[in-house]
Amino acid sequence: MSRSRSRSKYRRARIRHALFTLAPDKLLGGRLLRNHLKDQVVVRRFRVPAPLWRPELDGLRIGHLSDLHMGDLMPVQRIDEINRLLVDEDLDLLAFTGDAVDLDWQGIERFFEGMSAVPSRLGHYLVLGNHDHLDDPDSVVAAAREAGITVLLDEQVSVPVGDDGRLRIAGVDWTKRPQDCSERVAQVCDSARAEDPEAMVDLLLSHNPKGFNEASVRGIPLTLSGHTHGGQVAVKGKPGRNLAVAHRLSAGFYERDGSVLFVTTGVGSWFPLRIHCPPEVVVMEVRNGSWSEPGAPGNPTD
C-alpha cells in the first residue's frame, strides 16, 4: 500500500476513535472506558476434531490470541494480564492473528516480550492485521522479531515435531478483498510445494477469515483468524448472530470439506462495548478425528 494511502487510513481511524470512543467517554465522565476495562478476559479451551489433521500431530496444543488493539482500550497492565493467562497452558505453539496495535505502534514491545515469554515448545507466530498497517507496519514487525516471534508475511515455515515429524505453518498478511486473500493463501501453499512436492500446510494464520475460502479448497486442516471481534455485540447464547454483518464467518468454528476454521472474538476492541461477546484467549487441543463442532451439545469443551 502506498504511504499516502496508508496515512489517510490512519487519519480516518483516528477520527473514528475520537467519535466512537473518546467523545462519548468524555460525555459520560470517563465511565465508558472504566466499565469497558472491567470486562474479564475469558480463557476458552476446546478439543478440536479436525478430519484432515495428520495423526502424527494429534493432540497438539495451540494458544490463540488476536486483536489486542493496544491503545486507549487496552492499557499496559491489561496486556501483562493477558499473557499471564497462557503461561500454565502447556502450549506447543502460540499464534497471534493480527491487530496487535489499534493506532500507534509505540509500546507494543512490552506485549511481544510477554508473549514470547509464554512457554511454547514449537515457538511463537504472528501475522499482521489491518490496524497493524495503519501507523508503521515495519516497526510492528521489527518489534515482534526482536522479541523472538516468527512473523509470517505470506510465508510458511516447517517446524520439527518430535523425533521425525514436521508441522508446516503458513501466515498471510492483511488484505481486505476475498480474491486477494485467496491468492495469498494459494501462493504460500505453492511455495511449500516448491520446497517439497509432498508438503501440505497444516496450519494457516490469516487475520481475515476470508482466507478460509482458499484454505478449504487447498485442504488446509486448520485456519485461525480474527478481525471480526465477533461483532462485539451478539445475541445471548448465539455468538454467530452478531453485529459483524459484513462477515459470514464471524465467530467460532466452521468446517468445509474437512478443513476447519476458528474465528476468535479477540482479546481487545476498537469501540468500548461488548455484549454477550466477552474478550477471549483460546487454547485448543487439535485431534485427528471426524468433525463435530467443539462446544456444541454432545461435544463439550475440554
Of 233, 177, 175, 224, which is closest to residue 201 (Cα–Cα)? 224
3-class DSSP state for residue 153? coil
Residues forming the site for Fe ion (CB under 5 A):
67, 99
The distance of closest approach from Cβ of residue 84 to Fe ion in the complex, given in angstroms and rounded to an integer, is 22
The distance of closest approach from Cβ of residue 188 to Fe ion in the complex, given in angstroms and rounded to an integer, is 22
Q: Please check whether residue 91 is in contact with residue 63, taking contact to mean a CB–CB distance below 8 angstroms.
A: yes
Question: Considering beta carbons, is residue 156 or 228 the nearer one to Fe ion?
Answer: 228
- 76's grid cell: 499496559
The distance of closest approach from Cβ of residue 98 to Fe ion in the complex, given in angstroms and rounded to an integer, is 7
The distance of closest approach from Cβ of residue 250 to Fe ion in the complex, given in angstroms and rounded to an integer, is 12
The distance of closest approach from Cβ of residue 258 to Fe ion in the complex, given in angstroms and rounded to an integer, is 28
The distance of closest approach from Cβ of residue 131 to Fe ion in the complex, given in angstroms and rounded to an integer, is 6
3-class DSSP state for residue 101? strand
Q: Please check whether residue 168 is in contact with residue 192, taking contact to mean a CB–CB distance below 8 angstroms.
A: yes
C-alpha pair distances (Å), 53 with each of 50, 108, 184, 219, 296: 5, 33, 22, 10, 20
Question: Considering beta carbons, is residue 174 or 254 the nearer one to Fe ion?
Answer: 174
Q: Please check whether residue 225 is in contact with residue 207, taking contact to mean a CB–CB distance below 8 angstroms.
A: yes
Question: Considering beta carbons, is residue 123 or 268 the nearer one to Fe ion?
Answer: 268
Question: Considering beta carbons, is residue 44 or 131 the nearer one to Fe ion?
Answer: 131
Question: Considering beta carbons, is residue 63 or 98 the nearer one to Fe ion?
Answer: 98
Cα–Cα dist 145/291, whole Å? 36
Question: Considering beta carbons, is residue 67 or 92 the nearer one to Fe ion?
Answer: 67
The partner residues of 150 in beta bridges, in order of sequence, read 125
